[in-house]
């Protein structure tokens, strides 16, 4: 398994390098300059040659790319503020090594080991986060907004909150919906779910977002006289003056509509794939054998059918992480959500390629990591899968 993960990381690094090369030269080929916005102001025109030389925009495109690549992988700041952070990371490595070599001949061991290692690393990284100062040299924004690293990690929290809420909604609703449709194949509920899936999946996300703003925010407030949901922003202006419960409610009121607008398309997608996968498994020979043995229907579905039917969904969810971020780019612009999406749209308009490249590479890294996680989960869900 370790050799397989290392091999996949090497392949992922090569893929990310190719991605960065293609995106960088596409930006260069698109025309325009990040300093074009200064040409309309006669007072700032003399600064253009100085800034062009400062940012290296007068260099050949290949040299600009190599400079960006060197900066992108260079460490700008690293300091350990508390030695306990090193102990936490070292403890996580030691626990992982111990759990990796321990072999327990039980069907539940592989799943328990995988989730235990995951929890250990999440806890260790969370503990070390505030005790280690780390930053890569992702250059400065051409718009004068400061270091790109700070811009990305200042906005990623809002996007993560939105994406996690949308993904949670999609999983909680989409997968059970697909399972129930498969169990009740060709019923009225199945036909209704199929119609909903096709209609939702074929609707552009910006139409869903604007429709939710009109119906669930503006019209609902007009009909009830109560402001249930907000159409823009992440929190209210008086958020800091609210109590803890009121702050949670305020975040919920702002988060609900953008999360639903992203989740609806994923719900349609998950339900269709889960339905098809479940139907395929339910018609397999080993499931017929389980039924012939007289096992209860619930046990046949939950223990035998569902586990194998989830394998294709793992791939779909891992790849859908990028789709959720892509949906967030549009949704954040519609709902005024201060995340990566709004930052990305603003960077495109200003030809701020350090920010554009940072966002694209962050999404690419997320896809590579999630694909590796999906491969590991294959082995957890299906004991027949081996990575030797």
d(CA 21, CA 33): 19
> What does pLDDT average to over the chain?
86
The answer to whether 379 touches 385, Cβ cutoff 8 Å, is yes
pLDDT of 307 > 80? The answer is no
| pLDDT single digits (tens) 338-353 | 988 888 988 988 889 8
Question: Where is average pLDDT lowest: 97-106, 160-169, 235-244?
Answer: 97-106
Residue 231 has phi, psi (to 5 degrees) of: -95, -15
Beta-carbon contacts of 343 under 8 Å, excluding residues fewer than 6 positions away, are: 151, 152, 155, 355, 359
pLDDT at 382 over 70: no
Q: What is the mean pLDDT of residues 207-234?
A: 91
- The answer to which of 10-24, 177-191, 313-327, 365-379 has the lowest mean pLDDT is 313-327
pLDDT at 331 over 60: yes
**pLDDT tens-digit profile of 161-218?**
898 899 999 999 999 999 999 998 889 999 999 999 999 988 998 899 999 999 999 9
What is the rounded CA–CA span in Å between residue 320 and residue 171? 11
Residue 108 in this model has a pLDDT that exceeds 70: no
Contacts of 64 (CB under 8 A, 6+ apart): 24, 28, 56, 57
Considering only residues 50 and 314, tell me which one the structure prediction assigns the higher pLDDT: 50
Taking only the tens place, the pLDDT of each residue in 59-85 is: 998 999 999 999 999 988 888 888 888
pLDDT given for residue 219 in this prediction: 92
Provide the pLDDT for residue 255: 93
Question: What is the pLDDT confidence band of residue 335, given thresholds at 50, 70 and 90?
Answer: very high
Angle 109-129/353-381 helices, nearest 10 degrees? 150
Q: What is the pLDDT of residues 42-63, one digit of tens each?
A: 787 888 888 888 888 889 989 9
Task: List the one residue out of 321, 367, 201 whose CA is nearest residue 271.
Answer: 201
Residue 19 has a pLDDT of 93
Can you give the pLDDT at residue 134? 86
311: pLDDT strictly greater than 80: no
**Residue spans of alpha helices (H) in the chain:** 2-29, 47-55, 61-72, 83-101, 109-129, 148-183, 188-201, 205-212, 220-224, 244-282, 285-292, 297-299, 306-309, 311-335, 340-349, 353-381
Average pLDDT of the residues in 12-39: 87
pLDDT of 289 > 90? The answer is no
Q: Give the pLDDT score at 304.
A: 76
Q: pLDDT band for position 369 (50/70/90)?
A: confident
Residue 256 pLDDT: 94
Q: What is the pLDDT of residue 286?
A: 81
Share of the chain above pLDDT 70, in %: 95
Average pLDDT over residues 32-47: 79
Global pTM exceeds 0.75: yes
Is residue 385's pLDDT more than 70?
no
What's the pLDDT band for 388 if we cut at 50, 70, 90?
low
């Amino acid at each position: 398994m370790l050799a397989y993960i290392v091999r996949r990381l090497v392949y992922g690094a090569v893929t990310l390098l190719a991605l960065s090369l293609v995106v960088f030269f596409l930006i260069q080929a698109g025309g325009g300059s990040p300093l074009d916005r200064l040409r309309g102001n006669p007072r700032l025109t003399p600064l253009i040659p100085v800034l062009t030389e400062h940012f290296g925009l007068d260099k050949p495109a290949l040299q600009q790319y190599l400079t960006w690549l060197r900066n992108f992988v260079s460490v700008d700041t690293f300091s350990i503020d508390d030695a306990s952070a090193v102990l936490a990371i070292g403890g996580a490595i030691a626990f992982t090594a111990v759990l990796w070599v321990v072999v327990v001949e039980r069907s539940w061991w592989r799943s328990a080991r995988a989730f235990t290692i995951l929890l250990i690393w999440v806890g260790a990284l969370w503990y070390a986060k505030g005790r280690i100062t780390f930053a890569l040299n992702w250059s400065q924004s051409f718009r004068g907004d400061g270091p790109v690293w700070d811009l990305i990690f200042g906005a990623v929290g809002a996007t993560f909150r939105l994406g996690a809420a949308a993904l949670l909604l999609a999983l909680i609703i989409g997968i059970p919906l697909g399972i129930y449709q498969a169990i009740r194949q060709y019923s009225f509920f199945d036909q209704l779910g199929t119609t909903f899936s096709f209609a939702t999946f074929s609707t552009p996300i910006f139409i869903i977002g604007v429709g939710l703003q009109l119906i669930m925010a503006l019209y609902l407030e007009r009909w009830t006289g109560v402001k249930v949901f907000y159409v823009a922003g992440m929190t209210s202006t008086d958020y800091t003056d609210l109590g803890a419960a009121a702050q949670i409610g305020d975040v919920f009121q702002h988060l609900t509509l953008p999360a639903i607008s992203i989740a609806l398309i994923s719900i349609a997608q998950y339900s269709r794939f889960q339905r098809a996968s479940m139907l395929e498994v339910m018609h397999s020979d080993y499931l017929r054998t389980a039924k012939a043995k007289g096992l209860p229907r619930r046990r046949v579905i939950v223990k035998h059918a569902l586990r194998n039917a989830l394998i294709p969904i793992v791939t779909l969810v891992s790849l859908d992480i990028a789709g959720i971020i892509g949906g967030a780019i549009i949704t954040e612009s519609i709902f005024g959500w201060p995340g990566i999406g709004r930052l990305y749209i603003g960077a495109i308009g200003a030809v701020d390629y350090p920010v554009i490249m940072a966002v694209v590479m962050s999404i690419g890294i997320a896809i590579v990591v999630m694909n590796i996680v999906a491969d590991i989960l294959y082995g957890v869900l299906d004991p027949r899968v081996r990575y030797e």
